[in-house]
Structure 1
């Protein structure tokens, strides 16, 4: 279904703007570069998303101007480094060629971590880690979780380079402990979290699925921060701390806090959803024109609250779907997980990907150090 605010143009105009043939246009559509919709006036005619066409024109111009391309590469722009970890292709999220949605059907986070990291022993998570210091309790929500996780990761600053598999397992367990307030031991992390949060077996399986779906997302802001830190030779723990700091921002993992506040505001209004879908946060992702598969998987078969179900219906009517942020918060509410558990799940799951990015960056043995283009500052009044 076409989003209500999307402008559409004909095949002739699309081909003309791009300077391509009809055959090339159809190839662009099949590769997911341009969205195509049936005409409301003639079902035999296809119309094309103007936003996608203009983005392709802009990208083509950037390729012809290397300086301009470099200047915009860091803002949803051109690829800036190579990775064998994760690919977003044709609306699918792939971990080393394996569809993340399919993997999440049965696999625990530990299996996703082994898949992403690659060079790790199968029994890495069967061995115990050093005991974790007693905690006062779980720390949830973006700021609380980040503070507790950094504290745990910083307790032992040196890296266990003689036993890298144990170090990887220890880091994941420290992250889970930040969200649960207890030492996971060698228990699978989703079961440990479910037990600590005292939730049902159904919720435990949803937690497992969420952790796997959050494991990686190509070169997200936090993964890039991890790779920059790792490229300097920083320890795995400090690289993960860099990822945590980036994840905490409201434009990244901290968007779960915004989504929760929105839903709780709807609760306060007596369960009335806004009539305008564009008021909904976390219902569009630039990398998934047809909808975020992670969010769709997370909300599937959930025992949703009435207001959450109503918002999903409104978003579907507008041609939008829930992102992973919305899915995590709706899952938190559906199973009465502790308030703020959505961010903890995001961070714990994403740690598997951060570790994989750090290991891959170390193997590339290059320092990430881009150059800045100096511009003359405008006159400003400083206090």
Structure 2
């Protein structure tokens, strides 16, 4: 996400003619309440993110991704037995049907991992998913997202996919499947924190898309494929690798100020700054900043300096804009530190967000009404019809 980027937001189906006249349409559904949810709350003014009542800082510092997935799906943090049961269910779903693996094999090695993930989820849905979305399907999808990405990553390197290890948690197993090596504890901790922080984020564009599809009584795989399509866009989730590209272009602390001034002066984008919702510091960025510092102290020096200098220059050159570092800025540094290539950054966002998407899909179908908003027509009216032969 950059300084020029929006983020967004079931729609009560009422006669909104009076409300529309009273409230100007800013576009992008900004300021429009499109659903009620008990899953998460984003308080952009205070800079808070809450999952079912729990502050994101507490969850990120103490919980595994599996605990947070349980919280999002079932509404409460798990007991030890509930967590063990969920782990057992995850392990049972850590496999890909032969047809899905074959589909991945037949895709070009140069394909974007997000495209591979979208295609493989669609293939999995075609042979494995039917009927109303269920919690069992949510667990199955969330367990398989990392397998799809790791399978493609291994194949494009000329290697064969690996079998999951049942003793490993969600984050550790993903790293193992990518590399074939047991990951370092600090890398597991860093990736787990990332997965917790991005597991849900209110009515963002991809979550809204998933809920729209679910509201039509379509299946869970279709809703997830639609969400992936929305997440791929650079105005939503497709920007983390671009932060890394920006830092690489800046190159050093000595060149940072001149590069940033040039970018701001000529309308260039500072990737990883600004957010559609947060009017203060993104709480997820606060947690990721520390994780990035620990994961790679040397790379962190440049990231930290560019952040400090960019915020100062934005305040100087764009006064009143209140632009802050967003989640994608330090996501890039952290994911690079744990060994992920740039084109896996956004797909790994999807690995995390799958728990949130499926929680929202289940919430939608359990109290469903077709999402069907209105559009304010701005075209011509009362045109006189002219028969084809008389048109000039």
TM-score of the superposition, structure 1-length normalised?
0.73
- Candidates 131, 152, 157, aligned match of 2:95: 131
Query: Which residue of structure 2 lines up, in the alignment, with residue 272 of structure 1?
Result: 255
My pick for the range that moved more, 237-246 or 324-333, is 324-333
Distance in 1 separating the partners of 2:209 and 2:62: 30
Distance in 1 separating the partners of 2:111 and 2:254: 25
Give, in angstroms, the shift of residue 64 of structure 1.
8.3
Please state if 1:194 is matched with 2:175: yes
Q: Is residue 38–residue 52 contact of structure 2 (8 Å, CA) maintained in 1?
A: yes
Distance in 2 separating the partners of 1:233 and 1:65: 29
Query: Which residue of structure 1 lines up, in the alignment, with residue 20 of structure 2?
Result: 66
Distance in 2 separating the partners of 1:217 and 1:284: 16
Give, in angstroms, the shift of residue 263 of structure 1.
1.9
Query: Which residue of structure 1 lines up, in the alignment, with residue 144 of structure 2?
Result: 174
Give, in angstroms, the shift of residue 92 of structure 1.
0.7
Q: Is residue 253–residue 306 contact of structure 2 (8 Å, CA) maintained in 1?
A: no
Please state if 1:322 is matched with 2:325: yes
Tell which has more relative contact order, 1 or 2 (C-alpha 8 A, sep 6+). 2
Q: Is residue 211–residue 361 contact of structure 2 (8 Å, CA) maintained in 1?
A: yes
- Candidates 192, 195, 220, aligned match of 1:211: 195
Please state if 1:368 is matched with 2:358: no
Write the mapping of 1:1-383 to structure 2, written as runs, cut at 5 A: 66-67=20-21, 69=23, 71-72=25-26, 74-89=28-43, 90-118=46-74, 122=82, 123-127=85-89, 128-129=92-93, 131-132=95-96, 133=98, 134=101, 143-157=112-126, 158-159=128-129, 164-181=134-151, 182=161, 184=164, 186=166, 187-198=168-179, 199-267=183-251, 272-273=255-256, 274-276=259-261, 278=264, 279-301=269-291, 302=293, 303-304=296-297, 305=299, 306-318=301-313, 320-376=323-379
Deviations 1:278-320 (A, max 9, x none): 4522212232222111112112152241432321221343565
Give, in angstroms, the shift of residue 163 of structure 1.
9.6
Distance in 1 separating the partners of 2:62 and 2:53: 17
Give, in angstroms, the shift of residue 240 of structure 1.
0.8
Deviations 1:322-346 (A, max 9, x none): 2111121111233443232321221
- Number of aligned residue pairs: 316
Distance in 2 separating the partners of 1:200 and 1:138: 31
Distance in 1 separating the partners of 2:23 and 2:196: 34
**1:300–1:119 Cα change, 3 Å:** closer
Distance in 1 separating the partners of 2:109 and 2:145: 11
Distance in 2 separating the partners of 1:163 and 1:227: 12
Query: Which residue of structure 1 lines up, in the alignment, with residue 10 of structure 2?
Result: none
Query: Which blocks of at least 5 consecutive residues in structure 2 are unaligned?
Result: 1-15, 152-160, 316-322, 382-392
Q: Is residue 129–residue 185 contact of structure 1 (8 Å, CA) maintained in 2?
A: no
Q: Is residue 140–residue 343 contact of structure 1 (8 Å, CA) maintained in 2?
A: no
After superposition, the CA RMSD in angstroms is 3.3
Q: Is residue 232–residue 238 contact of structure 2 (8 Å, CA) maintained in 1?
A: yes
Q: Is residue 149–residue 178 contact of structure 1 (8 Å, CA) maintained in 2?
A: no
**1:287–1:101 Cα change, 3 Å:** same
Deviations 1:76-107 (A, max 9, x none): 32322111111122211000111122101122
**1:70–1:360 Cα change, 3 Å:** farther
Give the structure with the higher percent helix: 2
